[in-house]
Amino acid sequence: MTAAVSTSQDVVVRTRGTRRRTAAAALGTVPFFAFVTLFLLVPTAVVVAEAFLTDAGAPTLDNLRALGSGDIVRALVNSVVLSGVTAGLGAVFGALIAYAVSTASPDGPLRRVVSAGCGVLAQFGGVMLAFAWIATLGLSGLVPTFLRDHLGADVDTSWLYGLSGFVLVYLYFQIPLMVIVFLPSIDGLRPQWREAAESLGGSTWQYWRHVAGPLLAPAFASSALLLFANALSAYATAAALNAQSTFLLPLQIGNAIGSEVVLGRQNVAKALALEMVVLVAVVMVAYAWLQRRAERWLG
């Protein structure tokens, strides 16, 4: 009832009162935007500006041109593939674990332990994570040593340092992140809806397909997007796991910004960062478009 009335009101030409209300409302967001401008937009602007300067400070497009080199294009493709795969797998496994946890009692110890554990592991990365995985699956790690001693099987462990190994290592922090970030959405599923679906004769599959699935889809997609960006910019873990190669974008950035040997490429690092920002912006635009289509389709 009320909804219909407000729609017709919206159609009426915007009065001065509406504009004033919007302006006053905007004022309420000033603290957030002021903070973000100072501590996020300013640093980003500095980085983006320096991407267009040489080391000496003269304006140039050379840094952007360097982005077209074969090395960097390959790194871009590898990064997108790695981030996409870990985002997809992390989202699926994370959602599964989040659902499993949500079926436990909300005040019980299982929920607490898993939530806390996922919170901790979501931020566990860098040199220690790489070391832990190499100590588990590397040539002298626990698993290959066990296999060699007890089953006589000599396994080739070099895959750990390539793309598939990276996927495994990245999933270690992607899955817990998904659990933490998706759990509130699953908690938002009212038990009444499940009961309503059942009372209308729906099966579990139909409940998930027609009720819970569409409701959770936007949150699932945005969480996957978060996972994508998370994997894209991971540097410390990648550098510790494979110090020889620069086959990922963050490794290229690390090389450009901190090289003892190849000098004068520090601003190429900033151009690379700009490329990553543009990449995620493109992904976000695609995701927003997809969401709008899906909303229309879901009614």
| Contacts to another protein from residues 70-129, by CB under 8 A | 70-71, 93, 96-97, 99-101, 103-104, 106-107, 110-129
Q: Which is nearer to another protein, 49 or 77 (CB)?
A: 49
Selected binder of another protein within 76, 82, 85, 225 (CB under 8 A) = 225
Selected binder of another protein within 77, 258, 290, 293 (CB under 8 A) = 258
Closest CA to 157 of 136, 127, 128, 130: 136
Cross-strand partners of 59:
53
Instruction: Measure the CA–CA gap between 58 and 113, rounded to whole angstroms.
Output: 55
**155 binds another protein, rule: CB under 8 A:** no
> Distance from first CA to last CA of the chain, Å, rounded?
19
Q: Which is nearer to another protein, 61 or 100 (CB)?
A: 100
Segment 233 to 252, residues that bind another protein, using CB under 8 A: 233, 235-236, 239-247, 250
* Smallest gap from residue 296 Cβ to another protein (A): 17
Give the binding-site size for another protein (rule: CB under 8 A): 137
Q: What distance lies between CA 294 and its chain's CA centroid?
A: 21
Q: Coil, helix or strand for 59? A: strand
In sequence order, which residues have a C-beta less than 8 Å from that of residue 129 and are 6 or more positions away?
169, 172, 173, 237, 240
Q: Which is nearer to another protein, 70 or 297 (CB)?
A: 70
Selected binder of another protein within 61, 81, 135, 286 (CB under 8 A) = 135
Instruction: Measure the CA–CA gap between 110 and 119, rounded to whole angstroms.
Output: 14
* Smallest gap from residue 61 Cβ to another protein (A): 19
